[in-house]
Structure 1
Amino acid sequence: MREAAQPRAWQRMLSGRRLDLLDPSPLDVEITDIAHGLAREARWNGQTHGDHAFSVAQHCLLVEDLVGRFKPGLEPRWRLAALLHDAPEYVIGDLISPFKAAVGLDYKQFELRLMAAIHLRFGLPAEPPAWVGKLIKRADKASAYYEAVHLAGFDLA
């Protein structure tokens, strides 16, 4: 009796790298692929005002800037972690939070494996210290509030 084959899921990137989505390697992560993918990925599923969507790349730049404002003198590596906080979305897209919750834990584990590979590729720990995560989450929430009110036109209530 033959063993069931391991599932394979990979994507060829513009850099020429082949990223194994189930077991991502830091060696297959390229900053140009991340930048390209995030620049073309719309926040809020594209449901924002204006002629152009607000990209995940723009959001990441805003979060990195806010982290620096919240904690002046922060080590550059933690600002890099803030810049990369949504980096897995270069592969999996910017899924809205309600959908992530509906998909469940397997999705989150997949996202965390990809994030760990990205962090390791750029010299960060696979999982930054808790205080860094909290700081990034604070900036992410502030950015989301600004985007929701000023770009998506949601009410303050």
Structure 2
Amino acid sequence: MSEGGTRRAWQRMLSGRRLDLIDPSPLDVEIGDIAHGLARVARWNGQTKGPEIFSVAQHSLLVEALFAAGEPFPSGKARLTALLHDAPEYVIGDMISPFKAAIGGDYKLIEERLKRAIHIRFGLAAEPLDDLNRLIKIADRASAYLEATALAGFAIAEARKLFGAPDLPLRDFAAYLEPMRPADVEARFLARFAELDAEAVGTL
């Protein structure tokens, strides 16, 4: 509760922004807050191998790379959309898919509102085309397969059943699967965002 007994639905970010989680404004979205948060949110509820967590920021970098590998001429905006596909998790965290399904509509509604605000803030379509969403989802599932088999202890047969086997030279993405310190992956995420944002602006 905040002052006066009213419910508080906002979170204060390190940038000083106060982001309303129920009705988020694009004006309160900052890429520094996103990068900082995602670099500290663990994939697979932290059940991964290595001395560091494998973060949502690293997953996002992997998905963007997989998306680009699957598309011969992806635009800067499309790649930026792929990089930010899980950006709402900087404030709502990462939940494994079975738990998301159990929670149902309220979680999805909040996630979609946040994603919409993030897209508007960075000059992307508030509602990406279905084809783009489908291609990003393919890259997301490929990433899940790689992470599951390399980091989360899944057998190959089990991962294939759950996520499908990517039709890509997987060795090309091995470097993305090395867990990194939060500060290092935060810097890497910000650098990749800057590259893709500059490319996206250049295509206007």
Structures share fold, TM-score greater than 0.5: yes
Aligned: 1:115 with 2:115: yes
Q: CA deviation at 1:7?
A: 4.8
Query: What's 2:127 paired with?
Result: 127
The two structures, once aligned, show a CA RMSD in angstroms of 1.2
- 1:23 equivalent to 2:12? Answer no
Amino acid corresponding to residue 112 of structure 1 in structure 2? E
Residues 31-110 of structure 1: matches in 2 within 5 Å?
Answer: 31-110=31-110
Contact 1:43 1:53 in 2 (8 A): yes
Deviations 1:16-65 (A, max 9, x none): 00001110000000000000000001100010111111110000000001
2-side partners of 1:42 and 1:21: how far apart?
A: 20
Q: Which runs of 4+ in 1 moved over 4 A?
A: none
In 2, the alpha carbon distance for the partners of 1:7 and 1:52 equals: 36
Give CA-to-partner distance per residue, 1:65-111, whole Å, 9 cap, x none: 11111002211001000000000000000011111111111110110
Asked if residue 144 in structure 1 is aligned to residue 169 in structure 2, the reply is: no
Is 1:38–1:89's contact at 8 Å kept on the other side of the alignment?
yes
Letter in 2 for 1:86: D
Structure-2 separation of matches of 1:116 and 1:127: 7
Percent identical residues: 69
Q: Which runs of 5+ in 2 are unaligned?
A: 158-204
Q: Look up the SS of the partner of 2:86 in the other structure.
A: coil
Distance 2:16 2:125 in 1: 26
Tell me: higher relative CO, structure 1 or 2? Use CA pairs within 8 A at least 6 residues apart: 2
Aligned to 1:153: 153
Change (3 A) 1:52 1:130: same
The CA deviation at 1:8 is 3.7
CA distance, structure 2, for counterparts of residue 138 and residue 15 of structure 1: 33
Q: In the TM superposition, what is the alpha-carbon distance from 1:6 to its structure 2 partner?
A: 7.8
Task: Select the structure that is richer in helix.
Answer: 2
Q: SS at 1:72's partner residue? A: coil
Is the contact made by 1:8 and 1:22 (CA closer than 8 Å) also made in structure 2?
no
Supply the distance in 2 between the matched residues of 1:139 and 1:35 (Cα, whole angstroms). 20
Alpha-carbon distance between aligned partners in 2 of 1:102 and 1:73, rounded to the nearest angstrom:
38
